[in-house]
Amino acid sequence: MYDFKIAAADKATMYRDLLSALEGLTAGEPDPIANMANAAALIWETLPDLNWAGFYRNVEGELVLGPFQGRPACIRIPFGKGVCGAAAETLQVQRVEDVHAFPGHIACDAASASELVVPIARDGQLIAVLDLDSPTPGRFTEEDEAGCVALSELLARVL
Ligand code: SME
C-alpha cells in the first residue's frame, strides 16, 4: 500500500514533500501513463481547493487528454488554443487568476475560476502539460507556480 498523505504546515514544505513523494512513486517506473496517473492522484490528494488536476499529452502536435482527477474534460486541444494550448505553444507557464478574462479559455467545467498550466518539456520538446484548475479566483500563487515547475522538471525525466 502507498501511504503518501501529506499534511505540511506551509506551502514550501508541502511542495517539498509532494516532490519527494512523486520521486518515490515514479522511481524505476518507465511507463508514462502510470506515472501521470499517480502524479495526478497525488496532486489531487495533496493540494487544497482544486476542481481538476491532470495532464494533456503532446500527441503529434495536438494536446490529447491524459490521466486526471476531476470531472470529464475536453479531449483534444489545439496548440495555441485556451490556457493549455498557450502553454503548449509558448512552453511558458500560464498562471491565470481569472480564466473568464483569458482569451479563448476552454471551459471544461463551469466551476473553474483560476488555472495553472505548466509545460513539461525535454530538450526543448513538449511532452505534456500539467493542468490545475480551481473554483477560487487567484488560487495559484508564485509559490504554487514554483512548486509545480519543480514537479514538472521531475516529470520531464519520467514521462
Ligand atoms: N481550461 C483549459 C482546458 C482544459 S480543462 O481546464 C481541464 C484551457 O483553457 O486550456
The residue type at 93: V
Based on its alpha-carbon atoms, the radius of gyration of the chain, rounded to whole angstroms, reads: 14
Q: Residue 154 is placed in which grid cell?
A: 521531475
Span from the CA of 133 to the centroid of ligand 1 (angstroms): 8
Distance of CA 68 to the CA centre of its chain: 9
Q: What is the pLDDT of residues 16-63, one digit of tens each?
A: 999 999 999 999 999 999 999 999 999 999 999 999 999 999 999 999
Q: Is the dihedral of CA 18, 93, 70, 138 positive or negative?
A: positive
Span from the CA of 28 to the centroid of ligand 1 (angstroms): 31
Span from the CA of 142 to the centroid of ligand 1 (angstroms): 20
Provide residues with CB under 6 Å of ligand 1.
Answer: 52, 73-74, 77, 82-85, 105-106, 108, 112, 115, 131, 133
Q: DSSP labels for 90-120?
A: H---EEES-GGGSTT---SSTT--EEEEEEE
Whole-number Å distance between alpha carbons of 41 and 70: 10
Q: Residue 81 CA: which ligand 1 atom is closest?
A: 10
Whole-number Å distance between alpha carbons of 117 and 56: 10
> Which residue lies with its CA nearest to atom 5 of ligand 1?
108
**What percent of the chain is predicted at pLDDT more than 90?**
87
The residue type at 12: A
In this prediction the pTM is: 0.94
Ligand 1: which of 133, 134, 139 to mutate, most ligand atoms within 8 Å of CB?
A: 133
Span from the CA of 110 to the centroid of ligand 1 (angstroms): 11
> Which residue lies with its CA nearest to atom 3 of ligand 1?
106
The pLDDT of residue 35 is 97
Closest CA to 108 of 47, 54, 62: 54
**Average pLDDT of 147-153?**
97
The DSSP letter of residue 61 is: T
The pLDDT of residue 75 is 97
**For the chain, how many helices (H) and strands (E)?**
4, 6
